[in-house]
Structure 1
Amino acid sequence: MLFKKMLSTLILVTTLAGTHSAFAACSWSYPPPPAKITIPPLAGTTSLSPAPIGQAMASQKISFYSGGAEFHYCATGDKWGMTLNASGLEPAGLPNVYKTNVEGVGIRIGFDKPLSGNWGGVEYPPFEYQTYPTIPIPFPEQVTIDFIRTGTAVGKGPISFNFSAQFQATGLTPINIVGTNLTTEVANNIYFSACEAQVKSLIVPMGKVASANIRNGNTQAQNFNLNVYCKGLRPTQPAPVKIYFQGATTSDGLLKFNDAGQSHVASGAAIELTNGKGTRLPFTPSKALNLDWQHSQPDAEVYHFSGQARYVPSGGEVKAGKADAVVSYVLVYN
């Protein structure tokens, strides 16, 4: 009796194992792809187009397989997906985007089976989905390399990178898709690579002003100028470059004194900042002012900004004291 119980138990276990192996793994409907596939070379030149930060400035689509393989017969709960090893590339801080050696240009690597509703468009590894036993899933046949804008300044030059992607599904041998020494020359005729002022720190001497003159609005304006050099773009027409300011203000163009409220600091006054037309300078990006284009140099476009600073009453009694202030400027381009 004991022997029969043991035999029954063994038969039960064997039956369950046989059922699992027959129905709980996916299988190829056509001959499977090779275990390793190498991506063909990229186009030699990639020309950038205008795009906001985080979006693609260019894309290259490269076909690497045409065997028409697809899999199904999976069990409920089985999964399929892809992973990616972007060897030597650092994350760029945007989803699925990696840094390159060209400033402001990142890459994003995706896979697709064009014209296949069951694949559903470009997918960027890593990703994983649950299978449906009655729906065949095609093996990808095309890689998409997106060139993503990662910053305000955008450069140009050669990009070279490697990656290894792995396609896998429950019960199937993983397929490796490898890109080795993929190289292209990024051509940039759209964006400046950098804009910066000729003078990093500008001091505007305000002189000594009598309190009575401030109360009466009788103060001398002090002029200041900025020359800005923008490199990396040779436009047929000057591209717009704008400027706005940052500092301790009560409103646009009215700058508080350093350490305002301290006993040694003047009160009842502020420094008014205006452009050459008498308009107060903006302290928000949405109100940024256009710089005046001056001329082209062999390696840069030159822009100019003129402003004025003067003491004005700000409310309350005007009291003498130290009356320095600091303001920063922000250049907006591309």
Structure 2
Amino acid sequence: MLFKKMLSTLILVTTLAGTHSAFAACNWWLGRPPPGKITISPLAGTTTLSPAPIGQAMASQKISFYSGNASTEDCKTGDKWGMTLNVSGLESAGLPNVYKTNVEGVGIRIGFDKPLSGNWGGVEYPPFEYQTYPTIPIPFPTQVTIDFIRTGTAVGKGPISFNFSAQFQATGLTPINIVGTNLTTEVANNIYFSACEAQVKSLIVPMGKVASANIRNGNTQAQNFNLNVYCKGLRPTQPAPVKIYFQGATTSDGLLKFNDAGQSHVASGAAIELTNGKGTRLPFTPSKALNLDWQHSQPDAEVYHFAGQARYVPSGGEVKAGKADAVVSYVLVYN
């Protein structure tokens, strides 16, 4: 019987839109536009991560970049305003407005705000575009928010450096450029594992030849199997929980069907029962995942252990001889 780890990837794709209008035009309030180009000041040297689910912010930095009070005015019905964004050299992380970084599991999201302004209405993440209303001025943003988004189960640490260029646009006005150059911070991670994996990628459990009469009588020998799991990147004061559940062709938790079940060359009336060291059938749903036993610390990893057993059992109907192999995958749950 073969045990292996199974991985999957989910990618979400977003479509970005710019701003455009051919007929109407806005002006700057009192004819006082912001500077045509504004450069963002450096990030804080260290960014310390906090717990967050995948897709949410583990940390944020806010940087004020403009102290003026510029706003649009005289916009007409049908005019548009909004912002675009280009992040140099970083690709989408598969989450809306989030870009991958060189640190595993950490993406960045860049937003803009005009604090305490009801007309702006909170942090906005480019690209976005809205229609103007003639009697409501749109303030120019004064603050950038850099969110550090969790993009995966494993989360690393280390330096992040990036550049970006954003544009504030309104119908008829020259775009205002907001740029960040060589923005660098050291990501400090003391709460997440960067990776957990088994010492042996695939595990074969020899089940041997078993007489059908022994299966009918429940007189079969259990075969032991063991997994050692190494988790790197976190130095907890107490071992962090790591769990395991399984995936495969089952009729219920811990009862595994044979490969090609129903074919003439495959045994029938039997299945492989999988249990842990306490005799409990192994779970095949995330909600029932079992805790792994922490063993010890190594210089670069925390070591966990799982012990299980596999044995042939009757599954209903007449027990007939034949090939009786099965495959099951395991999923590690951590962070």
C-alpha distance in 2, partners of 1:82/1:121? Answer: 14
C-alpha distance in 2, partners of 1:251/1:60? 48
Alignment of 1:63-142 (within 5 A): 63-142=64-143
Could you say which structure has the greater relative contact order, defined with CA pairs below 8 angstroms and 6 or more residues apart? Answer: 2
Distance 1:132 1:13, change over 3 A: farther
Q: How has the CA–CA distance of structure 1 residues 303 and 81 changed in structure 2, closer, same or farther, with 3 Å as cutoff?
A: same
* Alpha-carbon distance between aligned partners in 2 of 1:6 and 1:50, rounded to the nearest angstrom: 25
Using the alignment, how far apart are the partners of 1:119 and 1:331 within structure 2?
43
Tell me, yes or no, if the aligned pair for 1:84 and 1:165 is still in contact at 8 Å: yes
1:48/1:188 contact within 8 Å kept:
yes
Tell me: CA distance 1:283–1:2, structure 2 relative to 1, closer, same or farther (3 Å).
closer
User: What is the alpha-carbon distance in structure 2 between the residues aligned to residue 10 and residue 266 of structure 1?
Assistant: 37
**Distance in 1 separating the partners of 2:64 and 2:129:** 22
Question: By how many angstroms is 1:3 displaced?
Answer: 94
Identity %: 95
CA-to-aligned-CA distance 1:234-263 (integer Å, 9 cap, x gap): 111111100000111111100111111122
User: Would you say the 8 A contact 1:249–1:256 is kept in 2?
Assistant: yes
Greater Cα offset, 159-168 or 261-270: 261-270
- Give the structure-1-normalised TM-score: 0.92
Distance change (3 Å), C-alpha of 1:6 and 1:260: closer
User: Contact (CA 8 Å) 2:83, 2:169: kept in 1 or not?
Assistant: yes
Report how far residue 8 of structure 1 moved.
72
Residues 19, 80 of structure 2: 8 Å contact kept: no
- Whole-Å separation in 2 of the counterparts to 1:17 and 1:299: 45
Deviation at 1:17, TM superposition (A): 30
For residues 235 and 312 of structure 1, the distance between their equivalents in structure 2, rounded to whole angstroms, comes to 42
Structure 1 residues 2 and 199: CA distance shift in structure 2, 3 A: closer
Mapped to 1, the partners of 2:312 and 2:15 lie a distance apart of 93
Distance 1:326 1:228 in 2: 20
Could you say if the C-alpha distance between residues 282 and 3 of structure 1 is closer, same or farther in structure 2, counting changes exceeding 3 Å? closer
- Superposed CA RMSD in Å reads 15.5
1:5/1:193 Cα in 2 relative to 1: closer, same or farther (>3 Å)?
closer
Change (3 A) 1:127 1:22: closer
Q: Which blocks of at least 5 consecutive residues in structure 1 are unaligned?
A: none
Work out whether residues 70 and 139 of structure 1, in 8 Å CA contact, stay in contact via their aligned partners in 2: yes
- Counterpart-to-counterpart distance in 2, 1:7 and 1:52: 19
| CA distance in 1 between partners of 2:111 and 2:209 (Å) | 64
Aligned partners of 1:191, 1:254: CA distance in 2, in Å?
33
Report how far residue 159 of structure 1 moved.
0.6
Quick check: 2:18–2:127 contact (8 Å CA) kept in 1? Answer: no
- Structure 1 residue 14 corresponds to structure 2 residue 4: no
For residues 310 and 169 of structure 1, do their structure 2 counterparts lie closer, same or farther at Cα, with a shift above 3 Å needed? same
Q: C-alpha offsets along residues 281-320 of structure 1, whole Å, 9 cap, x if unaligned?
A: 0011111100011111110000000100000000111111
Change (3 A) 1:236 1:8: closer
Kept after mapping to 1: 8 A contact 2:292/2:305: yes
Indicate if the aligned counterparts of 2:21 and 2:79 stay in contact, CA closer than 8 A.
Answer: no
Q: State the 4+ residue runs in structure 1 displaced beyond 6 angstroms.
A: 1-23
CA drift at 1:67: 1.1
- 1:155-192 C-alpha deviation (Å, 9 max, x unpaired): 11111111100001112111000011111111111110
Other-structure match for 2:326:
325
Q: Retained in 1: the 8 A contact 2:5–2:330? A: no
Q: How far did residue 25 of structure 1 move?
A: 2.1
**Corresponding pairs, count:** 333
Q: CA offsets per residue over residues 207-254 of structure 1, 9 Å max, x none? A: 111111100001111111110000001111111100000111111100
Counterpart-to-counterpart distance in 1, 2:149 and 2:128: 20
Q: In 2, Cα distance between the equivalents of 1:46 and 1:3?
A: 39
Q: Indicate if the aligned counterparts of 1:23 and 1:73 stay in contact, CA closer than 8 A.
A: no
Q: CA contact under 8 A between 1:102 and 1:157: conserved in structure 2? A: yes
Residues 10/286 of structure 1: CA separation in 2 closer, same or farther (3 Å cut): closer
Change (3 A) 1:43 1:6: closer
Instruction: Point out the structure with the larger helix share.
Output: 1
**CA–CA distance in structure 1, aligned partners of residues 188 and 57 of structure 2:** 14
Given the superposition, is the C-alpha separation of residues 6 and 226 from structure 1 closer, same or farther in structure 2, using an over 3 Å criterion? closer
Moved more, 296-305 or 318-327: 318-327
Is residue 78–residue 170 contact of structure 1 (8 Å, CA) maintained in 2? yes
Equivalent pair of 1:89/1:99 in contact (CA under 8 Å):
yes
**Is 1:35–1:175's contact at 8 Å kept on the other side of the alignment?**
yes
> So what's the TM-score if we normalise by structure 2?
0.91
Which of structures 1 and 2 has the bigger CA Rg?
1
Classify 1:18/1:165 alpha carbon distance in 2 versus 1 (closer, same or farther; 3 Å).
closer
CA offsets per residue over residues 39-97 of structure 1, 9 Å max, x none? 00000111111111111111110111101111211111111111111111101111111
| Cα distance in 2, alignment partners of residues 329 and 6 from structure 1 | 7
- Which digits, 9 at most, give the CA deviation of each residue in 1:185-205, with x for residues without a partner? 111111100000011111111
User: Does the CA-based 8 Å contact 2:85-2:165 persist in structure 1?
Assistant: yes
